[in-house]
Amino acid sequence: MPIPPIPAKSVVAFGHTSSPELRKALEEIREAIILPSYLSEDQRRKIYSSAWKARLEREPVTLAIDDDVHSFQYRDYLDLPNTNLKVKRALRAMKTRRDFLNLEPLLEGVCKHAGRKLDPAFYPEAVRRAARAGALDIVLDCALLAKRTGFRLDKHETVAQLMTWVQREAVFSGWDKKELKKALKRIQWMLEQMEGDPEHMERRKPDSEPLLAYPLYRDPIFLAARLHLEAALAIKYGNGVDEEGDIAKHANQLMQLWPETADLISLHPPQAYTGNVALRYLLHKEAFVWITSPVLNGLRLAARVVEPKLAEELEKRASVLEKQIDEAIKESVGGRGEELHQKLLEGLGEPATA
């Protein structure tokens, strides 16, 4: 009945944890969800079959990982752990950057090896928690390894959270040149992945109508993130000059997708905001301020760089968005959105000297 020993290095395992709570959560997931996926198809069939219950009590299925032997007796499907609850519990127990080094093996084990599908809400929450722990790069690595982790850039809220945190890091660095360039590179990479990598392209049922007005790689919020960082670099470190013409090019692209009198909410059809789907999260005032404040700043910065006619078009959109943000702030209770908005209002500071 046993299969040959499996080298430990080829089996998903977890590293350092900052708390017994996280260690316990990860080990429960490994034992109950991940390790059974390394059994043969025949072995898995037996441990989930009531016909084998008595036999397995005497002769359990075993899995040897180097010298460590794991035994599996009968498991009732009704008693199997809720994967989403278990994984969310582990995520919420991650508090430090070192804790988040366990995120990649967690996703690989659960999504790839065990073939479980996580609640879409897990991914934006993972971004928020990782970013607050100084582990945003770890989440981006998970997206880079999407085929292995299942962390895809195919949902609006996940991408919006990633792009906003990427921009926030650059803003709170004091608009440091190195951080701005790193942020711009990350944003550009995400746009490219959403457009051209099958792992990150949006998935929908055949013959179904798209829920959003634009594919994610053409969404104005995400295109504005790139424009924001390009304009900040030009003003702070490039004498306010659009040397390569990219700012004008990307500003024009954005204007073609964004009617001058439209607010951000109306860019997508009403059905995108109903139910527990797509853009409903933007109806929460704090989330709206958090996601759209960098968009507003990007429009205003780009208007300082491009020629007057295009600057006027950018300012029209900025004025409409500014009213939306001001109204949302009046109805919200502060939080990270207002904090980011206030930081952006402080401006870039003095241009850097050569």
Residue written as tokens 């995120």? 103
Domain coverage including residue 58: 8-79
Higher pLDDT, 135 or 332: 135
Residue that finishes a domain, picked among 22, 55, 79? 79
How many domains are there within the chain? 2
Mean pLDDT of the chain: 92
Dump pLDDT digits (tens) for 189-244: 999 999 987 778 666 665 566 788 899 999 999 999 999 999 999 999 999 999 99
Residue that finishes a domain, picked among 79, 102, 132? 79
Same domain, 180 and 293: yes
pLDDT for the residue 275? 67
Residue that finishes a domain, picked among 63, 79, 95? 79
Give a yes or no: residue 58 inside a domain: yes
Cα separations (Å) of 240 from 35, 177, 306, 331?
56, 14, 9, 36
Task: Report the length, in residues, of the chain.
Answer: 354
Same domain, 354 and 220: yes
pLDDT for the residue 334? 77
Give a yes or no: residue 122 inside a domain: no
Give a yes or no: residue 103 inside a domain: no
pLDDT for the residue 204? 61
Dump pLDDT digits (tens) for 130-183: 999 999 999 999 999 999 999 999 999 999 999 999 999 999 999 999 999 999
Give the three-class secondary structure for 154. coil
- DSSP conformation letters of 192-217: HHHHH-TTTS----TTPPPSSSS-GG
Give a yes or no: residue 87 inside a domain: no
Token pair, residue 259, equals 């009617």
